[in-house]
Chain A
């Protein structure tokens, strides 16, 4: 069984823990915060040997002037000849991450003492889940994940294409047990209801991100999920975990696991913040019997947030 330890700190403290990164992974986006992680590394003079940046085709395709914009993205990440711009599809995380894995295995010599830094701020959640799974299989002991909060949110996604297990996180359903659904609440209540309807659990535990990045966000997620929370049997189970601390989400999920796993198969639905989703991912990697179901939207809006707030560093040790 994997044991994962970790802690949270402000991103600008990164040089206290690491002065050199063997590999830096990030992604392009139309969100202003997309290169904050790289900027912090730069400002704090952390040396980086190699950068792999996901260049999402969907982002480039919607640029007014793709060539010019690509150059601007290159400049934002100070791309050099030794770096890799990985052209991938936003909606195909399996292929995108297989490309990453293949490239790292062939071209990036890593040892257990190597330092990997990844900025997950603008990656869509399925990419984050699979990125973590792949990086954890590289036999590197320590990793540093960066996350920059948005200042405000725009519309995030449109419609639900399908609710399905995140690849690699199907868990192991014990047919003798009942089913419990843990929903990390986000701003799209309809997606939570959809997953609930698709899963028909015997027990539902909603988790609200509190404290939230900003006080009004906490109320917004409650309001947006009013349909789900109108069921007394669901509302009475409401729990809280910090919106920006994945380790708190992980701890909460472990408490729930301790309380319920003997009688229930646990499924986590990460619809809340990315740090919460990241925490659920760490949890599911430790507890391989638990599964993660994600409500894949029909469309990701390419600029779901505006400006940026605080930046965090999550240290993870496998």
Chain B
């Protein structure tokens, strides 16, 4: 314990929710995602004129980005670099105003004691006041930090104009015309809204007593007024950064959609929302819709982040490095490269560990007696059994020609080809060409089969060698498990660092590596937590969980398919238009919470078939179900009936569908215990 304290090895990955981070932490841990900012070529400019919708699952980094763009953080960051604010506005193209739509309170703008029309009016008024107050707070912020020079006289003049602009009846005392008093004035207006909300919840006879501010008056026109009095702000865009748009109820979304549709510069919007966060694209004007590209640009976080594997890995490395540098023990030991700490484990290395144990070195493998290898190693025994069944007494002579203990995975390819009933002479010829590296057609064919199936075969190799478990470890694997969700990656690191620091922090520093087992356990814990959360999804959580468990079980049987007809199945296809509304809602919610990730639609196998919608199981769940973390194998398209039964059917019905959709051979072997698997989520 003392040693741990001496080393000062705090877990650098504690605290990964940007919403709960303090401003200083956001500045400290900020890493610019170049993949997002460098999209002007695609017409998406995060700091430009057009509204942009930032869509992504929980933990993808939307809040971090929006908060970072806010004037509060930008000014603080500038001050920490330069000491004073002069020059801030010259360097800034825009000024950001952040507002988060608070889910629990938005629902209060809706009760049966008040008509829908009245709520619409009051919410519009509320939004105007909130943003208006935010503008004034921004001015105060700029003034206090020295970013603008605001003389007492100008402040008085501006404040008095704003008072009248907000409320014609306002007659402020000239001595009280300050930004501060304006903020209080706006707060009084908000208090009246809250008073109305509280009273109207319990009575039908309550009236709203304040004067309503017309929609757009403060949001779009107040900045013009401000810019007239503060020349430094002229020409600067004011970006309203709305976070958690998905929390808005339908009518409120129409109000915000109308603002986006009718954006008036210098004001523009950045909207952070979950996937499928739009409940409607309608605006308040009948027949008018919000249209992507025409009215706003859209960024799908997960897709953009993972599109370029290398860039995503670099971003995660940079994020992790900032955190590692903050911890004395890691900084002092120069242990700030997460790639080094997590290391790399190739399928080939893992296969050797599985067959020979983790302690045996490569040189020792060469000396491993062939007889023992043939009689003890499980996958070799399988090859022998097949040879004996097919070639009887020749098996003994054929077997050594299919072996290469230095790489059990290529032996697994041979096993696969035997199971697919290839002629043994052909297998030997392909195998020999590959081992000899002849680069001919045979070599290419074997190489193709090897590269396509090696991870799938590794899963089978592990399965043959129980109780050995599949490793989910190494930097690249962690990148893939995170599925484009930065918080997933941070939580994976958090779990594995917890284990490594707790078991032996000193060893961690000495070996400069987190043990692969600790990483695997960390990944399993993260998967379990992720699965637990699914049930808490407010809408259709139970159906989504049932779906996930069913697919986990089904995919797992495909991974164990001896013929490996589709290796690494982790997604399914369905024609979503054929589904019932309820089933579509379940899928949409699953996507909204990133349990399923929607991929680009695929063509059917036959020409002329409609495009199929593709849903991948979030790879973070892979350790739980013992399946792959890559998007490879193609699963047959699901029918409406099968998918809906998995969502809404009773246990017996679900079991029938699971049986139908599973790989037959595997199911026959396991018998009815597959249901048990679905229930318990065991990996085997």
Q: Which residues of A are in contact with B by a Cβ distance under 8 Å?
A: 94-95, 97-98, 101, 130, 133-134, 137, 159-165, 167-176, 190, 193-195, 197-202, 227, 231-233, 267, 288, 291, 293, 298
Q: Does B233 contact A (CB under 8 A)?
A: no
**A288 proximity list for chain B (CB < 8 A):** 198
The answer to whether A173 and B194 touch across the interface, beta carbons within 8 angstroms, is yes
How far is A98 from B200 in the complex, measured between Cα atoms in Å?
Answer: 12
The answer to whether B20 and A200 touch across the interface, beta carbons within 8 angstroms, is yes
**B190 proximity list for chain A (CB < 8 A):** 172-175
Q: Say how far B219's CB is from chain A's closest CB, in angstroms.
A: 15
The answer to whether A164 and B542 touch across the interface, beta carbons within 8 angstroms, is no
The answer to whether A170 and B194 touch across the interface, beta carbons within 8 angstroms, is yes
Q: Say how far A296's CB is from chain B's closest CB, in angstroms.
A: 9
**B17 proximity list for chain A (CB < 8 A):** 197, 200
How far is A298 from B543 in the complex, measured between Cα atoms in Å?
Answer: 13
**B195 proximity list for chain A (CB < 8 A):** 172
Among A175, A194, A267, find the residue whose CB has the most chain B CB atoms closer than 10 A: A175
Q: Say how far A100's CB is from chain B's closest CB, in angstroms.
A: 11
Q: Does B197 contact A (CB under 8 A)?
A: yes
How far is A101 from B204 in the complex, measured between Cα atoms in Å?
Answer: 12
How far is A176 from B14 in the complex, measured between Cα atoms in Å?
Answer: 28
**A162 proximity list for chain B (CB < 8 A):** 103, 107, 538
**A160 proximity list for chain B (CB < 8 A):** 536, 538
**B199 proximity list for chain A (CB < 8 A):** 168
**A190 proximity list for chain B (CB < 8 A):** 532, 535-536
Q: Say how far B394's CB is from chain A's closest CB, in angstroms.
A: 61
**B100 proximity list for chain A (CB < 8 A):** 200
**A194 proximity list for chain B (CB < 8 A):** 536
- Looking at chain A's contact residues, the main secondary structure is mixed
B226-269 vs A, CB cutoff 8 Å, 1 = contact: the mask equals 00000000000000000000010000000000000000000000
Q: Does B347 contact A (CB under 8 A)?
A: no
Interface residues of B in 5-25 (CB under 8 A from A): 14-15, 17, 19-20, 22
How far is A98 from B105 in the complex, measured between Cα atoms in Å?
Answer: 22
Q: Say how far A160's CB is from chain B's closest CB, in angstroms.
A: 6
The answer to whether A134 and B536 touch across the interface, beta carbons within 8 angstroms, is no
The answer to whether B538 and A161 touch across the interface, beta carbons within 8 angstroms, is yes
The answer to whether A159 and B107 touch across the interface, beta carbons within 8 angstroms, is no
How far is A64 from B574 in the complex, measured between Cα atoms in Å?
Answer: 42
Q: Does B343 contact A (CB under 8 A)?
A: no
With known contacts A173-B190, A176-B183, A94–B107 Cβ distance under 8 A = no
With known contacts A94-B201, A172-B194, A200-B100, A165–B105 Cβ distance under 8 A = yes
With known contacts A160-B536, A175-B190, A198–B103 Cβ distance under 8 A = yes
Q: Say how far B27's CB is from chain A's closest CB, in angstroms.
A: 16
Q: Say how far A119's CB is from chain B's closest CB, in angstroms.
A: 22
The answer to whether B111 and A198 touch across the interface, beta carbons within 8 angstroms, is no
**A168 proximity list for chain B (CB < 8 A):** 198-199, 201-202
The answer to whether A170 and B198 touch across the interface, beta carbons within 8 angstroms, is yes
How far is A137 from B190 in the complex, measured between Cα atoms in Å?
Answer: 24
How far is A137 from B15 in the complex, measured between Cα atoms in Å?
Answer: 45
- Chain A residue at smallest Cβ distance from B498: A230
Q: Does B40 contact A (CB under 8 A)?
A: no
- Chain B residue at smallest Cβ distance from A190: B536
How far is A167 from B103 in the complex, measured between Cα atoms in Å?
Answer: 14
The answer to whether B194 and A198 touch across the interface, beta carbons within 8 angstroms, is no
Cβ contact of A159, chosen from B198, B201, B532, B535, cutoff 8 A: B535
**B111 proximity list for chain A (CB < 8 A):** 94, 167
Among B15, B17, B194, find the residue whose CB has the most chain A CB atoms closer than 10 A: B194
Q: Does B104 contact A (CB under 8 A)?
A: yes
How far is A193 from B537 in the complex, measured between Cα atoms in Å?
Answer: 12
**B202 proximity list for chain A (CB < 8 A):** 94, 97-98, 101, 130, 133-134, 137, 167-168
The answer to whether B108 and A164 touch across the interface, beta carbons within 8 angstroms, is yes
**B463 proximity list for chain A (CB < 8 A):** none
**A172 proximity list for chain B (CB < 8 A):** 190-191, 194-195
Q: Does B112 contact A (CB under 8 A)?
A: yes
- Chain A residue at smallest Cβ distance from B193: A172
**Could you jot down 9 A-B contacts, CB within 8 Å?**
A94-B111, A94-B113, A163-B104, A167-B202, A168-B198, A170-B105, A176-B137, A176-B187, A197-B19
The answer to whether B187 and A175 touch across the interface, beta carbons within 8 angstroms, is yes
How far is A17 from B22 in the complex, measured between Cα atoms in Å?
Answer: 51
How far is A40 from B155 in the complex, measured between Cα atoms in Å?
Answer: 67
**B197 proximity list for chain A (CB < 8 A):** 165, 170
- Chain B residue at smallest Cβ distance from A177: B187
Cβ contact of A175, chosen from B133, B198, B532, B542, cutoff 8 A: B133
Q: How many A-B residue pairs have CB under 8 A?
A: 107
The answer to whether A163 and B108 touch across the interface, beta carbons within 8 angstroms, is no
The answer to whether A94 and B187 touch across the interface, beta carbons within 8 angstroms, is no
With known contacts A170-B198, A171-B194, A176-B137, A199–B108 Cβ distance under 8 A = no
Give 18 new A-B contacts, CB below 8 A, not counting A172-B194, A175-B130, A199-B103: A94-B202, A95-B112, A98-B202, A134-B202, A160-B536, A161-B538, A164-B103, A164-B107, A165-B104, A165-B107, A167-B111, A173-B105, A174-B190, A175-B134, A175-B187, A194-B536, A198-B103, A298-B538
**A164 proximity list for chain B (CB < 8 A):** 103-105, 107-108
Q: Does B102 contact A (CB under 8 A)?
A: yes
Q: Does B48 contact A (CB under 8 A)?
A: no
Q: Does B681 contact A (CB under 8 A)?
A: no
How far is A92 from B19 in the complex, measured between Cα atoms in Å?
Answer: 32
**B216 proximity list for chain A (CB < 8 A):** none
With known contacts A167-B202, A199-B104, A232–B14 Cβ distance under 8 A = yes
Cβ contact of B187, chosen from A134, A170, A174, cutoff 8 A: A174
The answer to whether A170 and B103 touch across the interface, beta carbons within 8 angstroms, is no
How far is A160 from B537 in the complex, measured between Cα atoms in Å?
Answer: 7
- Chain A residue at smallest Cβ distance from B106: A164
**A175 proximity list for chain B (CB < 8 A):** 130, 133-134, 137, 186-187, 190
Q: Does B541 contact A (CB under 8 A)?
A: yes
How far is A288 from B195 in the complex, measured between Cα atoms in Å?
Answer: 9
Q: Say how far A182's CB is from chain B's closest CB, in angstroms.
A: 14
**B108 proximity list for chain A (CB < 8 A):** 164-165, 167, 170
| Pairs A-B, 3 closest by C-beta atoms | A167-B201, A200-B19, A164-B107
Q: Say how far B191's CB is from chain A's closest CB, in angstroms.
A: 5
How far is A296 from B393 in the complex, measured between Cα atoms in Å?
Answer: 71
Q: Say how far A228's CB is from chain B's closest CB, in angstroms.
A: 12
With known contacts A162-B538, A170-B108, A175-B130, A199–B102 Cβ distance under 8 A = yes
- Chain A residue at smallest Cβ distance from B63: A200
How far is A31 from B21 in the complex, measured between Cα atoms in Å?
Answer: 43
How far is A134 from B536 in the complex, measured between Cα atoms in Å?
Answer: 32
- Chain A residue at smallest Cβ distance from B529: A227
The answer to whether B541 and A159 touch across the interface, beta carbons within 8 angstroms, is yes
Cβ contact of A169, chosen from B15, B107, B183, B198, cutoff 8 A: B198
**B183 proximity list for chain A (CB < 8 A):** 176
**A133 proximity list for chain B (CB < 8 A):** 202
Q: Say how far A300's CB is from chain B's closest CB, in angstroms.
A: 15
The answer to whether A159 and B538 touch across the interface, beta carbons within 8 angstroms, is yes
**B198 proximity list for chain A (CB < 8 A):** 168-171, 288
Among B104, B113, B201, find the residue whose CB has the most chain A CB atoms closer than 10 A: B104
**A167 proximity list for chain B (CB < 8 A):** 108, 111, 201-202
B127-139 vs A, CB cutoff 8 Å, 1 = contact: the mask equals 0001001100100
How far is A201 from B247 in the complex, measured between Cα atoms in Å?
Answer: 16
How far is A164 from B102 in the complex, measured between Cα atoms in Å?
Answer: 9
**B541 proximity list for chain A (CB < 8 A):** 159
Q: Say how far B486's CB is from chain A's closest CB, in angstroms.
A: 16
**A231 proximity list for chain B (CB < 8 A):** 14-15, 20
How far is A293 from B112 in the complex, measured between Cα atoms in Å?
Answer: 19
The answer to whether A163 and B536 touch across the interface, beta carbons within 8 angstroms, is no
- Chain A residue at smallest Cβ distance from B23: A202
Q: Say how far B62's CB is from chain A's closest CB, in angstroms.
A: 12
Q: Say how far B14's CB is from chain A's closest CB, in angstroms.
A: 7
How far is A137 from B205 in the complex, measured between Cα atoms in Å?
Answer: 15
**B113 proximity list for chain A (CB < 8 A):** 94
Q: Say how far B350's CB is from chain A's closest CB, in angstroms.
A: 31
How far is A236 from B108 in the complex, measured between Cα atoms in Å?
Answer: 32
